Amino acid sequence: MGDLGVFSYTIAVGFVAAGLISSAYQLVTNRQVAFELLYQRNAAAILGVLTLVIAGPAVIMRNAIRARLVEKRAGHWLALSTVLSAGWSFFQGVFILSIVIGARSSGLI
């Protein structure tokens, strides 16, 4: 697999993790993950921050697509949000894959 393939795969791993956590949060709480979780003042704020760290790329893309379709925002905002989400997904994917590779090399998986 070439460099572009590894890069794309890493982004996909990070974005899939974001989508899974976002969907799991919505399944449990019956609300969508949103950046308003940062403004809570109880123990749910800690859980909200941890959830947003992982689900951030999905939240950014959901908001960007909604802004483009519903609010008729300019296309460059969607492009910028896509780049930001891809970068976040890449670093998240690197973190997840390093854990998986480390677990495989140590015989845990």
Question: What's the CA gap between 33 and 59, in Å, rounded?
Answer: 7
Query: Quick one: pLDDT at residue 93?
Result: 96
Residue 38 pLDDT level (bands cut at 50, 70, 90): low
- Is 24 within 8 Å of 98 (Cβ atoms)? no
Nearest to 14 by CA among 57, 78, 59: 57
What pLDDT, in 10s, does the model give residues 61-104? 999 999 988 988 888 899 999 999 999 999 999 999 999 999 99
* Of 41 and 25, the one with more pLDDT: 25
User: What's residue 92's pLDDT?
Assistant: 96
Q: What is the pLDDT of residue 49?
A: 82
* Mean pLDDT rounded to a whole number for the chain: 89
